[in-house]
Structure 1
């Protein structure tokens, strides 16, 4: 298989008693391809076909979870932070396709830096956020007041860190050793902005952010990319109820458990700040175990935009979603998987509903978070 094809598919890889959602000043987002709205634009149509009618940099046929969150709290879709001549007073999106949580040096020291495609770690993104803030809200005190009525979504982060190791030839056992580093740097990102060459860093919370949503990583063992590349004849490799690859989901589960531990520590340290966990993992598992409940077809984790007949998951790295040899299914809304690793607009809409109204964010976004 050609490496260019392989890497391209991976790339498009509050106050303590805040007011109700419609009173949020702004929405700010940090993350990777699950939430990038145009900082990196790699693919053309059919990406974007369902809602926008043209490609926007979103790795889906339409809107993402962050788009539906914005709509749900009465704010416009987030402009990418790199956009020129743009007003960011209602929010900005700092997510980059292929962004890892960890910095370049972590991978460079392990001989894995060739697998990185952007220099957009969580601290790089928060650095850009801090630099942009004065143009949005003015003085530090004005910004603190502004952010106290804004919502920040920090993640998903981690998927690209683990992919860099896995697709760099490391065993899943060795890659699992990344987990404490990744979850610590996510917690660090919430608490501390580590600016290069500046000793006296700032804090997201210290800047005035008091309402944060922190998503888990996905159960990637349920996605066609991994199911195809790690196809096994051993039934013990797969979950009996889901058909998902156990080893990849075990890695994701470990990450999420450690992330929750880190968030619990931050809540104890900052009891007046709402830091809510968004459970991507459980939502996708629900889609897999009971697809018909959500309007998906049985076996909905077949890729919608892919190469028909190339595998039982409708996925082939040599004919990825926007390349010749790939077609789009006629029933996009009946699918969870759009291109093998990213989801359809329908899946994003259902996930966002679980964050806005529950139960996958607790308390839901459209309620007052616990003080």
Structure 2
């Protein structure tokens, strides 16, 4: 599919690198990055929340895994494509005990996770009990226990699924989190209150990076948050909106404005972190621009209406989530999938389809949407 092969020219990337200026921390190529440790929410959860509570229901996973695989999509997520680009296996969820392999990293992300702790139940509002600070605590325990058992093992076979202690300082630490903090704020706070909370949210993400730096982490790949106001589940029932409520693409303008404010403050905080953590390579990735670019040019790229939902039904205030059943006016309705998920951006109204994830991953991994503008295969570069 041609849309999945679009990339930015390497000549442009070279020009950007020369213009902005970077210096090498160490000569690291894709083959030299031995592991990924990921922190985030459902956008990068490869099975953590499914292991903690209930497994994903079919038809999730139908396109690539041909079965539910703990992901809120028909197939692979951006973090899966990152692993592929770095020639590493897909990340095993830290919370899963079956079939796991931690020799090349681990995934601490869980669906519904936030940066700040929320005093709510997963059963009530879908908020994960594993916010970012708990994910970092899980990593610290993982590192300590993994190192202990690796050193205690007498045979290579006993170490084959354990992290090598020396890899923690050479691994890539990825972040994709913050969307749920905004969504929670839209639900509980006024716009002024949420805007006032953003500095604390951003500082708590920075604190997580600082903690991982103390644990030896040196390369950080930090996604900003996407255009939450473009999620189909939020706009599907909006009719006759007042002028200015929706932007030119049909997204909720106020929500996207809040996401852009969060992203601005996050970028500023990452810049300050570079001064506070002198040995770290910190890459800020403009995921918002990539996703909004996809939504705004969807049909030109071969996708259908960007607000079409492939799996589940969401209309007239009634939500039948992907893979679930509901009784509507005496009739049982099943939230099945569309005929061709590869042409749809939104899998279930909240999460992206595999083809959309691939397109976005292709845009961000080459470095053209990063600060500094280096590809993920060379993430061990540091701003001058």
Q: TM-score, normalised by structure 1?
A: 0.82
Equivalent position to 1:364, from 342, 362, 375: 375
Contact 1:239 1:245 in 2 (8 A): yes
2:319 aligned counterpart, secondary structure = helix
Aligned to 2:288: 281
Residues 1:182 and 2:201 are matched in the alignment = yes
Please identify which structure carries the higher strand content: 2
Residues 1:127 and 2:128 are matched in the alignment = no
The Cα offsets for residues 26-71 of structure 1, whole Å up to 9 and x where unpaired, read as 1110101111111112430011111111112211111111111111
Tell me: CA distance 1:177–1:232, structure 2 relative to 1, closer, same or farther (3 Å): farther
Residues 1:92 and 2:106 are matched in the alignment = yes
| 1:269-308 matched pairs, under 5 angstroms | 269-297=276-304, 299-307=305-313
Residues 1:102 and 2:113 are matched in the alignment = no
CA positional deviation for 1:233: 2.2
CA positional deviation for 1:103: 2.1
2:222 aligned counterpart, secondary structure = strand
Aligned to 2:190: 171
Contact 2:36 2:171 in 1 (8 A): yes
Aligned to 2:95: 82
1:92 aligned counterpart, secondary structure = strand
Tell me: CA distance 1:145–1:327, structure 2 relative to 1, closer, same or farther (3 Å): closer
Residues 1:19 and 2:40 are matched in the alignment = no
Contact 1:21 1:73 in 2 (8 A): yes
CA positional deviation for 1:268: 1.7
Residues 1:228 and 2:247 are matched in the alignment = no
Tell me: CA distance 1:368–1:255, structure 2 relative to 1, closer, same or farther (3 Å): closer
2:284 aligned counterpart, secondary structure = strand
Contact 2:182 2:259 in 1 (8 A): no
Question: How far, CA to CA, are the matches of 2:300 and 2:108 in structure 1?
Answer: 34
Greater CA radius of gyration, 1 or 2? 2
Residues 1:319 and 2:320 are matched in the alignment = yes
Contact 2:287 2:364 in 1 (8 A): no
Question: How far, CA to CA, are the matches of 1:76 and 1:59 in structure 2?
Answer: 19
1:22 aligned counterpart, secondary structure = helix
Question: How far, CA to CA, are the matches of 1:232 and 1:226 in structure 2?
Answer: 15
Residue-pair matches, total: 333
Q: TM-score, normalised by structure 2?
A: 0.80
1:277 aligned counterpart, secondary structure = strand
CA positional deviation for 1:329: 1.7
Question: How far, CA to CA, are the matches of 1:79 and 1:364 in structure 2?
Answer: 24
Aligned to 1:207: 215
Contact 1:26 1:89 in 2 (8 A): yes
Tell me: CA distance 1:335–1:135, structure 2 relative to 1, closer, same or farther (3 Å): same
The Cα offsets for residues 281-320 of structure 1, whole Å up to 9 and x where unpaired, read as 10111012211453322x2231111328x46xxxx64312
Aligned to 1:152: 173
2:74 aligned counterpart, secondary structure = coil
> How large is the Cα RMSD of the aligned pairs?
2.7
Contact 2:41 2:112 in 1 (8 A): yes
Aligned to 1:266: 273
